[in-house]
Amino acid sequence: MPSRSLPITILVCLLIFGCLASGLKAAAPTLDAFYPPGIRIGTTTEVTAVGKTDPWPAQVFCSNPHVTFKADPKKKGHYSVTASKEVKTGPCFVRLHNKDGASKPMLFMMGKLPEIPETLDKKGNEDNDSNATAQAVKSLPLTINGRLIKSEDIDIYRVTLKKGQTLIANLDAYGLRAPMDPYLHLYDPDGTLIILGNDNGTNIDPLMIHKVLRDGEYTIAVMAYIHPPGSDIRFTGKTSAVYRLTLTTGPWLSYALPLAVKKAGNTSLKLFGHNLPGGKAHIPLTFSHANPEAENAIIRHPSFPNSLTLPTTPAAPLTLGKNSEIKLPTSATGQLSKAGESDPITLLAKKGQQLDIRISSQRFGFPLDPVLVIQNDKDKELKRADDTGVKTDRDAKIIWKAPADGKYKLLVSDLFRKGGDLYHYLLSVTEAKPGFTATFDKSAYFLEAGKTVDMKIKLVRINGHKVPLQIEVKNLPPGVSIIPPKDIPNKNTDITVKIKSEASAPDANLALRFTLKEKTGDAPINQTVHFSFLPTIPGGPYLLNELDHAWLTVKGKAKTKAKAKPAAKPKATKPVPKKAKPAPKPKASPKNKVAKKKRS
């Protein structure tokens, strides 16, 4: 029996020791969500970080300098967040960090409407999961911050509407990187389901629009499946399943025409949507953009609580008519107004020109599934495409080299031969010049003092690009340097950059910006290295999809405190000993006297 119990005892001791050791080990913070996941501009609110924040407090980096996070020293995981009046509507990204690393980046939203939280009972539990306990929404417009916190959770809200009003119910959850595929249900005053809100056309977050037919109390239910999908098909719930539900009977922006703006200069836009002021079909906006390097522009208007994102183009965007003729380069907006329609567009090209021709519609949330065909002057088909080659992108793209000078015909149609008021598209034709893209393999890296870490960058060369490249980096912290690769191959490859830290390097947490640049040429191309968290499975884009930097944590060596030398003890003075009296000689015993006589 003892021989069997000894290994078990040792095992238990090892497990206890391992648990204690893991509890003592420092770790980078984790971040799965913020609740609430957003804030009204010009206000301050308390926000909870969902994740692990040991040791507390964890520091915060926010991409918007006008949004500040202040940790509550007494309440672990709690921050006081302030969005100043200078903040614009839309998302920013936030991450937590400490001396042991950084969390993944999460999204945080800023809005202009009043905000309320989902109600809780006295014990802090949700109590709006049935018709009898539905949370009453007293006035519109507003944004509700909620969370599907338990398995099979449903949040229910009750709102009073009048005949003739148009209700807009927009929910952001997946777009904020919450792990769910949400749905909205709208019930009339009799409790009859009248609308099921699913995808909004751009991603899997729902947008629900309903023109009210009679006065009364309407009920809106929020529920979700887990995303990415699992084998268990039921409504999900967890602490990171956060959402923002915006309800309004006021103006709501749907799209703008044309579907692109000039990179530098003014563009005259028409804004379309619902509940527009004065009952207008659209309202005008002169949009000014002054960043020639930006690929996209955010369109905002004071009448609308939401915004749009449009691509930028070097030339003024055009509007296509019947049998339009275009030259290179161009960006033009068209429409398939009838079912079965196919738009013919004449393109002037020269022999040997390699062209990048794209039709974009799905990216704007329109129902058009585009098909692009190139024909010669005798109507012979030369090339066809109905996608871009990216699994999650249903727009169309062709890279094509003109075989001769002349006129060619571009045909644009819908894959299912549909058409209508919302079947708009953007045609983009540019020269397919050689170029490249570069992306980080991770969003954050950790480096200990005196060591090195490998940073991998994925290089993709486009349209036969072969020019030698070099890497540049700015704002390296003290004591840190990079060791670039000796040679970057002229093909698609992974580049390894070593980041080296001196033994004396201090603690640091910062965003590093890398640039990949051509070594030769009069106007060398340079690209900022990005990190993309765009999902690779169907679901659509998030509200933000990439970072223009990589996060670096440098952990310096802990400084050991020098032990104080103990004070020298005073030397003890020895007392001078007194001279001892000599001991008296022992008297000879009688036996000794007899022994002396015998020897004599």
What pLDDT score was predicted for residue 463?
92
Q: Among 12-26, 312-326, 327-341, where is mean pLDDT lowest?
A: 12-26
At 330-347, the pLDDT tens digits run: 999 999 999 999 999 999
Q: Left (φ > 0), alpha (ψ -120 to 50) or beta: where does 599 sit?
A: alpha
What pLDDT score was predicted for residue 564?
57
Question: How far is the C-alpha of 422 from the C-alpha of 426, rounded, in Å?
Answer: 13
Establish whether domains 33-111 and 435-555 are of one fold: yes
For the segment 139-159, the average pLDDT, to the nearest whole number, is 95
Express as a percent the part of the chain with pLDDT over 90: 77
Residue 96 · residue 29 · CB < 8 Å:
yes
What pLDDT score was predicted for residue 255?
97
For the segment 351-369, the average pLDDT, to the nearest whole number, is 96
What pLDDT score was predicted for residue 293?
80
For the segment 254-269, the average pLDDT, to the nearest whole number, is 95
181 pLDDT tier (thresholds 50, 70, 90): very high
For the segment 1-16, the average pLDDT, to the nearest whole number, is 47
CA distances from 510 to 63, 85, 96, 550 (A): 12, 26, 12, 9
Question: How far is the C-alpha of 232 from the C-alpha of 394, rounded, in Å?
Answer: 28
At 401-450, the pLDDT tens digits run: 999 999 999 999 999 999 999 999 999 999 999 999 999 999 999 999 99
Instruction: Return all residues near 105 (Cβ < 8 A) that are at least 6 apart.
Output: 93, 94, 95, 443, 533, 547
Query: How is 505-538 classified by DSSP, letter by letter?
Result: PPPEEEEEEEEEEESSSSS--EEE-BEE---SSS
| pTM for the full predicted model | 0.87
435-555 CATH fold? Immunoglobulin-like (2.60.40)
Four-CA torsion 362, 365, 369, 373, nearest 10 degrees: -50
Nearest to 283 by CA among 245, 255, 322, 314: 255
Q: Among 172-186, 315-329, 340-354, where is mean pLDDT lowest?
A: 315-329
At 66-120, the pLDDT tens digits run: 999 999 999 999 999 999 999 999 999 999 999 999 999 999 999 999 999 998 7
What pLDDT score was predicted for residue 521?
83
For the segment 350-372, the average pLDDT, to the nearest whole number, is 96
Residue 264, pLDDT above cutoff 80: yes
317-432 CATH: 2.60.120.380
For the segment 259-272, the average pLDDT, to the nearest whole number, is 95
Express as a percent the part of the chain with pLDDT over 70: 88
For the segment 462-468, the average pLDDT, to the nearest whole number, is 93
391 pLDDT tier (thresholds 50, 70, 90): confident
Residue 315, pLDDT above cutoff 90: no
For the segment 356-369, the average pLDDT, to the nearest whole number, is 96
599 pLDDT tier (thresholds 50, 70, 90): very low
What pLDDT score was predicted for residue 566?
62
What pLDDT score was predicted for residue 97?
97
Residue 22, pLDDT above cutoff 50: no
Residue 170 has which token pair? 């927009």
pLDDT, mean over the chain: 89
Domain positions in the chain are: 33-111, 115-250, 317-432, 435-555
33-111 CATH fold? Immunoglobulin-like (2.60.40)
Residue 582, pLDDT above cutoff 60: no
Residue 15, pLDDT above cutoff 70: no
What pLDDT score was predicted for residue 568?
59
18 pLDDT tier (thresholds 50, 70, 90): very low
270 pLDDT tier (thresholds 50, 70, 90): very high
Instruction: Return all residues near 178 (Cβ < 8 A) that are at least 6 apart.
Output: 33, 37, 240, 241, 242, 243
On whether the 115-250 domain is CATH 2.60.40.420, my answer is no
What pLDDT score was predicted for residue 522?
85
597 pLDDT tier (thresholds 50, 70, 90): very low
Question: How far is the C-alpha of 19 from the C-alpha of 24, rounded, in Å?
Answer: 9
More confident residue, 203 or 322: 203
At 192-237, the pLDDT tens digits run: 999 999 999 999 999 999 999 999 999 999 999 999 887 777 888 8
23 pLDDT tier (thresholds 50, 70, 90): very low
Q: Highest mean pLDDT: which of 256-260, 326-330, 522-526?
A: 256-260
